[in-house]
Amino acid sequence: MAVSDSKAAERVLDVSADRRQARDRAAGYLLRRHHFQWPEALPWIVAIAAFFLFPDRMTFGSQVLVMIMFALSLDLILGYAGIVTLGHAAFFGIGAYTVGLGAARLGWTEPVSGLFAAAIVSAFVGFITGWFLLRYRGLTLLMLTLATAIMLQETGNLRSDFSGGYDGLPGLEFKPLLGLFDYDLYGHTYYLYALAVLAVVFFFVRRIVYSPFGQALTGIRENVKRMHAIGSPVHRRLVTVYSIAAGIAGIAGALFTQTNAYVTLTVFDFDNSAKVMVMLILGGTGRLYGAFLGAAVYMVLEDHLSKLSPTFWQFGIGLLLVLAVLFARRGVLGLFEDAGQYLKRFRS
Amino acid sequence: MPHFAIIAVSILFDGLAYAMFLFITSVGLSVTMGLMGFVNLAHGAFAMAGGYIVVSLTRNLGIGFVPSLAVAAVTVGAVSVVFERGLYRRLYKATDLEQVLLTIGLAFMAIATATYLYGPIPKSVPLPEWLQGDINLGFRSFPSYRAFLIVLGVVLVTVLWYAFERTNIGAKIRAAVDNRRMAESVGINVDLLFTLTFAVGSGLAALGGGLAIQLFGLSPSFAVLYLVLFLIVVAVGGLGSLKGTLMAALVIGIIDTGGKYLLAEAGGFFIYAITVVVLLIKPAGFYGRE
Amino acid sequence: MKLMKYLGAAALALAVTGTANAENVKIGVVLPFSGANADLGQQMDKAFDLYVKLHAKDIAPNTVELIKRDEGPPTGAQAKTVATELITNDKVNMLAGFSFSPSSIALAPVVTQAKIPMVISNAGTAWITNLSPYIVRLSFSMWHHGYPMGAFAYDKIGCKTAALAYTDFPPGKDSTEAFKTGFEKAGGKIVDSVPLGSPVQVPDFTPYFQKIKDEKPDCMYVFIPSGAHATGVTKAYGELGMRKAGVKLIGPMDLIPDNKLQDMGDAAIGTIVMGNYAVDLENAENKAFNEEWHKAYGKDSYPDFMSAAAWDSMHAIFDAIKKLNGKVDDGAKVVDAMKGWSTNGPRGHVMIDADTRDIVQDEHAMEVIRKPDGKLGIKVLGTTKAVKDECKVQKIGRCAS
């Protein structure tokens, strides 16, 4: 009896030691990834450099930042949790209309608090729809999310006396930022504003994906059955991350309305959902910076090509996508990673 | 005949014609996604290509509308094999997302090419005399073009049903949809089978594109404009199911037409409402595999 | 080699001094060049190019440079971005084009702030011109066609009852509202009003029209965007045999854009529209315009009402440049130069109302006929002279502010 008892105790000790080790390893891994590495500063340096190099192009620059944020929110659910949706524009649109209607109908024209309101409303709708829809996967989920976005658009059109319909909410005026900086024609104020908001959102997202919660999401993406088996509350986690992503998409939409001082129902378009997805895949999913690279590459190329040939630029974009799939399987970022790996091997 | 009966007959007739168009254009997409799990968003581009071939043949070469439809279907079906062998094949093992990127890219290129070749102005086709008028049944007259759509649809459904359910090849396809590995291990050449079904599906899409000109007009953006509609039919019907696609096309065609007729104010709503209701109850669609 | 370089430099210097007092006026052209509405952009772009090609000498020694950008989809956002950058980056002196109302609405605060004139060649929502003192419209408001059609339909076509059908977006509601106002004032009765779905996709029109056919009104007033929708409407109307059933098809000229008319076939014959332009409109300027168009773009290419508006837009811009002798840096002066401007163009006599900066033009009731040469064309049934935007005259809704 005694002997077996002590053996059992030893075993328990062993197990707890094992566990401790595993826990330390996991914590170390998370912390290691959590530390900033110097290449991560690059996109921010580029964004600030762009401000000084192309002072006349900041209206376009702000739009790029907005799309980056939108793509980032999609990365959180598509790249990390593996939720494929074609209705992400719904949340972008809800955010856009929260500040739009707030300014037009309620006189709520303070921009920063508008962002918070947009985030809360979008996240709430994300929570409600996510609760129902995230039980489904694959094509079913794709069509359900898509239908949700379009039904929101149709509702807006039914009540166009209130929403402004496809002619939109014109002449929105927002208060100067922080009471100090007013909107200027060159879009300088809003570029810096959008960049600051993007930075805050980005570090929030980064924190999430390198947290244990983020690891659980990756687990769900990789093998949902196993996550169920180890007792992970899969549905709850998916709904949580879906709501967060919806909130961020809402902030992007709110910025979109504020930078344009205008919004129409077309923000709910299928095109908008599809485009952001294409940008993200192009940049590389599940890697945070893929959103930056994808949105920037896509939009800059589109801008250049459409100047070169306003009629046929789509051919160039199409070709880029096809080539990306054939030669850069993990997005443009993947291409860089491969190059980095190659260099490392080359040196050693 | 009482008034409501006349309305019901109208809705049924118009809805049926619309449903047949939906079925013809979507069935290829359903089989592609069901058999290979391949998300082909360039499906609409094949339909558009078919439409433009019909335009060229009828307007520039003076060939009749119906023969042109046949030529377009065969040509696009044949050309699609090149795409399948050259491009799609490389991505069968890739993720859905990569397939989406590739095929969206192809659709964009197709739009630009069509704009270059045909210009952006919507095209229409000259119809033969017998397709222009209407057929009077006393209590009501029906457009003959719609009647033609229904007849053509019924013929195609019959042929496809026979090929799918009663022939050796059809049995192999069904086997491959159900369990690809098993089918391969009993010696079915799934690759070849897929090339064949892909070509037939693309050819049917081209036929649908040709038929759509009279309904919607044809412009380069056709390649993506109605894609959502086709995806809805596929999802509601269930992947890879002939019966399901037909069922979905009928339900969507008739309810959408009825909604437009009876409650035009909420016109855009119906089709999405049906989609949501069906998918919430049956996530895999009418006849999809759970 | 060196000598050549010097010679080159000298020639360049000479060229520079030779044109020292000539101005190069940069005009930003914003039109939908891609996407579902690319054909609208093409119709206007061709007219702009043609005018510049034929009339460059009118403003010599000054020159113009067109910088073209894609207006994109009717969201307002892309148009706003490209147009703002035309101002900030390309330093254009004025903007022209604008197919869609949302683009113009989104851009209004920007042109006000930048003091850059914005010449609208299509966008037709009535109240746009109220949004900025720098907006000048050369095209039309939805009320230009819709309102006079109301009285004409009741008095001349014999519509005692009418059903409305419209694409469910603001111009559609605007147009049908305008018709209804005129029609009811004349004594007519509206029996039904049917929205035809979104402007993005052409729907299957048959069920909508079948319903209207069952209601047996004298006339059906239809508004649709003049792209692919137009052909769809005529086809469905023809297929259903509505004319035989006694329902006349009427509407604004968007129903029968000239570049699609030949494709519409017999079904279009008998359609009566109210509008400001048709290829068959008889006046000397239109004849010359059509000849030049066919010479430049081939015999199967037709200008349409958008092309005519774009042509007149460029004409107004050129006259302003001439009047100011190329000194177009002050946007307010350019707008002033255009106020009260008038000409005889392809559409007949047109004038820019000095108060509203909107166009004043003749409106023609036109019936589609089969011409002796076998082609489809129109016959003018009646003309109302010098029509203003009635929405702003009567101060209805948003037009009041």
What are C147-180's pLDDT values in tens digits?
999 999 999 999 999 999 998 887 888 899 999 9
CA dist B245 and B236 (Å) reads: 8
CA dist A312 and C35 (Å) reads: 10
Q: Is the pLDDT of residue A252 over 90?
A: yes
> What's the pLDDT at C11?
46
Question: By the CB < 8 Å criterion, does A321 face chain B?
Answer: yes
Residue C4, in any domain of the structure? no
DSSP-derived secondary structure letter, A85: -
Total tally of structural domains belonging to chain A: 1
CA dist C182 and C147 (Å) reads: 5
From A86-95, B180-189, B248-257, the region with the lowest mean pLDDT: B180-189
Inter-axis angle of helices A111-133 and A89-105, nearest 10: 140
> What's the pLDDT at A163?
81
**What chains are in contact with C, requiring at least 3 Cβ pairs below 8 Å?**
A, B
Contact: A270, B105; criterion CB under 8 Å: no
> pLDDT above 90 covers what percent of chain A?
41
> What's the pLDDT at A13?
56
**Span A71-77, average pLDDT:** 95
pLDDT category at C55 given cuts 50, 70, 90 is very high
A299, two tokens: 């939009």
Contact: C73, A269; criterion CB under 8 Å: yes
CA dist A257 and A273 (Å) reads: 17
The residue of chain A with its CA nearest to that of C73 is: A266
From A63-72, A296-305, C259-268, C348-357, the region with the lowest mean pLDDT: C259-268
Question: By the CB < 8 Å criterion, does A131 face chain B?
Answer: no
Residue A19, in any domain of the structure? no
Q: Tell me how many degrees the CA angle C348-C352-C354 measures, rounded to the nearest 5.
A: 150
Q: How would you class A15 by CB atoms within 10 Å of its CB: exposed for 0-12, middle for 13-18, buried for 19 or more?
A: exposed
Same domain? C271 vs C371: yes
**Span C301-308, average pLDDT:** 92
Q: Is the pLDDT of residue A8 over 80?
A: no
**Span B178-196, average pLDDT:** 87
From A4-8, B19-23, B127-131, the region with the lowest mean pLDDT: A4-8
- Of A140, A157, A321, Cβ closest to residue B104: A321
B65, two tokens: 């509308």
Q: Is the pLDDT of residue B173 over 90?
A: no
> What's the pLDDT at A114?
93
> What's the pLDDT at C15?
46
Q: Is the pLDDT of residue B10 over 90?
A: no
Residue numbers in B near C196 (CB within 8 A):
264, 267
**What chains are in contact with B, requiring at least 3 Cβ pairs below 8 Å?**
A, C
CA dist C161 and C164 (Å) reads: 10
pLDDT category at C12 given cuts 50, 70, 90 is very low
- Of B119, B143, B267, Cβ closest to residue C195: B267
> What's the pLDDT at C227?
76
Q: Which of A89, A13, A67, A102 is nearest to A255 (CA)?
A: A67
> What's the pLDDT at C7?
46
Q: State chain B's mean pLDDT as an integer.
A: 89
Contact B146, B14 (CB under 8 A): yes
Question: By the CB < 8 Å criterion, does A225 face chain C?
Answer: no
- Of C39, C208, C239, Cβ closest to residue B264: C208
- Of A154, A312, A325, Cβ closest to residue B268: A154
Selected for mutation to probe chain C from A172, A191, A260, A305 (highest C CB count within 10 Å) is: A260
**Span B56-68, average pLDDT:** 93
Contact C361, C350 (CB under 8 A): yes
Q: State chain A's mean pLDDT as an integer.
A: 86
Q: What domain range includes position C349? A: 23-140+283-357
C323, two tokens: 């009047």
> pLDDT above 70 covers what percent of chain A?
94
> pLDDT above 90 covers what percent of chain B?
47
3-class secondary structure for C162-219? EEEEECCCHHHHHHHHHHHHHHHHHCCEEEEEEECCCCCCCCCCHHHHHHHHHHCCCE
Q: How many CA atoms lie within 13 Å of C5's alpha carbon, on the beta-carbon side?
A: 2
Question: By the CB < 8 Å criterion, does C70 face chain A?
Answer: yes
Contact C230, C260 (CB under 8 A): yes
Same domain? C85 vs C151: no
**Span A186-201, average pLDDT:** 92
Selected for mutation to probe chain A from B87, B233, B272 (highest A CB count within 10 Å) is: B272
For residue B131, the distance in angstroms to the closest alpha carbon of chain A comes to 35
Question: By the CB < 8 Å criterion, does A188 face chain C?
Answer: no
Question: By the CB < 8 Å criterion, does C102 face chain A?
Answer: yes
Count CB neighbours of A337 within 10 A. Answer: 14
Selected for mutation to probe chain C from B58, B121, B224 (highest C CB count within 10 Å) is: B121
B129, two tokens: 């005399």
Contact: A278, B101; criterion CB under 8 Å: yes
ipTM greater than 0.85: yes
> What's the pLDDT at A202?
94
For residue C213, the distance in angstroms to the closest alpha carbon of chain A comes to 25
The residue of chain C with its CA nearest to that of B218 is: C228
Q: What is the CATH number of the domain that holds C71?
A: 3.40.50.2300
* Contacts (Cβ under 8 Å, ≥6 apart) of A236: none
Contact C163, C146 (CB under 8 A): no
Residue C6, in any domain of the structure? no
Residue in the block written with tokens 């709503």 = B269
> What's the pLDDT at A11?
58
> What's the pLDDT at A178?
73
- Of A140, A274, A321, Cβ closest to residue B235: A140
Q: Which of A56, A105, A46, A104 is nearest to A258 (CA)?
A: A104
> What's the pLDDT at C36?
77
CA dist C164 and C150 (Å) reads: 12
Total tally of structural domains belonging to chain C: 2
Interface of C with B in 119-178 (CB under 8 A): 168
Same domain? C321 vs C388: no
> What's the pLDDT at A170?
73
Contact: C38, A311; criterion CB under 8 Å: yes
Tens digits of residue pLDDT in C271-297: 999 999 999 999 999 999 999 999 999
Cα–Cα distances (Å) from C69 to A130, A300, C33, C86, C316, in that order, read 40, 14, 8, 8, 21
Contact B222, B51 (CB under 8 A): yes
DSSP-derived secondary structure letter, C302: -
> What's the pLDDT at A88?
95
For residue B1, the distance in angstroms to the closest alpha carbon of chain A comes to 35
How many A-B residue pairs are in contact by the CB < 8 A criterion?
A: 114
For residue B113, the distance in angstroms to the closest alpha carbon of chain A comes to 7
Rounded to a whole number of angstroms, the CA Rg of chain A reads: 23
Question: By the CB < 8 Å criterion, does B132 face chain C?
Answer: yes
> What's the pLDDT at A222?
86
> What's the pLDDT at C10?
45
For residue C368, the distance in angstroms to the closest alpha carbon of chain A comes to 31
Same domain? C296 vs C262: no
pLDDT category at A15 given cuts 50, 70, 90 is low
For residue A32, the distance in angstroms to the closest alpha carbon of chain B comes to 29
Question: By the CB < 8 Å criterion, does C106 face chain A?
Answer: yes
- Of A148, A285, A311, Cβ closest to residue B97: A285
Contact: A160, C33; criterion CB under 8 Å: no
Residue A210, in any domain of the structure? yes
Question: By the CB < 8 Å criterion, does A315 face chain C?
Answer: no
Same domain? C262 vs C387: yes
Contact: B235, A139; criterion CB under 8 Å: yes
Tens digits of residue pLDDT in B84-97: 999 898 888 888 88
Residue C197, in any domain of the structure? yes
DSSP-derived secondary structure letter, C64: E
DSSP-derived secondary structure letter, A106: S
For residue B289, the distance in angstroms to the closest alpha carbon of chain C comes to 32
> What's the pLDDT at A10?
57
A203, two tokens: 């570090």
For residue C229, the distance in angstroms to the closest alpha carbon of chain B comes to 7
Contact: B260, C208; criterion CB under 8 Å: yes
> What's the pLDDT at C4?
47
Contact: C232, B215; criterion CB under 8 Å: yes
CA dist A335 and A329 (Å) reads: 8
> What's the pLDDT at C14?
44
> What's the pLDDT at C91?
92
Same domain? C133 vs C194: no
Using the CB atoms, write b or e for A22-44: b if 16+ within 10 Å: eeeeeeeeeeeeeeeeeeeeebe
Residue A303, in any domain of the structure? no
DSSP-derived secondary structure letter, A42: H
Using the CB atoms, write b or e for B268-278: b if 16+ within 10 Å: bbbbbbbbbeb
Which residue among C341, C357, C373 closes a domain? C357
Inter-axis angle of helices A188-209 and A212-222, nearest 10: 80
Q: What domain range includes position A206? A: 47-288
Residue C301, in any domain of the structure? yes
Contact: B280, A322; criterion CB under 8 Å: no
> What's the pLDDT at C182?
93
pLDDT category at C72 given cuts 50, 70, 90 is confident
Residue C11, in any domain of the structure? no
CA dist B203 and B29 (Å) reads: 11
Same domain? C122 vs C241: no
> What's the pLDDT at A176?
76
Question: By the CB < 8 Å criterion, does A328 face chain B?
Answer: no
**Span C328-351, average pLDDT:** 92
Q: Where are the extended beta strands (E) located within C293-347? A: 342-345
> What's the pLDDT at A14?
62
Contact A65, A191 (CB under 8 A): yes
- Of B96, B235, B269, Cβ closest to residue A143: B235
The pTM score is 0.88
Cα–Cα distances (Å) from C280 to C313, C317, C386, in that order, read 21, 26, 20
Top pLDDT among B288 and A118 is at A118
**What chains are in contact with A, requiring at least 3 Cβ pairs below 8 Å?**
B, C
> What's the pLDDT at C16?
45
Same domain? C188 vs C268: yes
Can you list the domains of chain B with their CATH numbers? 3-281 (1.10.3470)
Q: State chain C's mean pLDDT as an integer.
A: 88
Contact: B108, A315; criterion CB under 8 Å: yes
SS3 assignment, position C237: helix
**Span C235-259, average pLDDT:** 90
From A108-117, C6-15, C389-398, the region with the lowest mean pLDDT: C6-15
> What's the pLDDT at A1?
43
- Of C41, C102, C173, Cβ closest to residue A168: C102
> What's the pLDDT at C46?
94
> What's the pLDDT at C98?
93
> What's the pLDDT at C173?
86
- Of C38, C201, C259, Cβ closest to residue B225: C201
Selected for mutation to probe chain C from A57, A92, A185 (highest C CB count within 10 Å) is: A185
The residue of chain A with its CA nearest to that of B232 is: A143
DSSP per-residue codes, A238-305: HHHHHHHHHHHHHHHHHHHHHHHT-B-GGGG-HHHHHHHHHHHHHH-TTSSHHHHHHHHHHHHHHHHH
Residue C18, in any domain of the structure? no
> What's the pLDDT at B1?
62
Same domain? C49 vs C121: yes
Contact: C68, A310; criterion CB under 8 Å: yes
> What's the pLDDT at A180?
64
Residue C3, in any domain of the structure? no
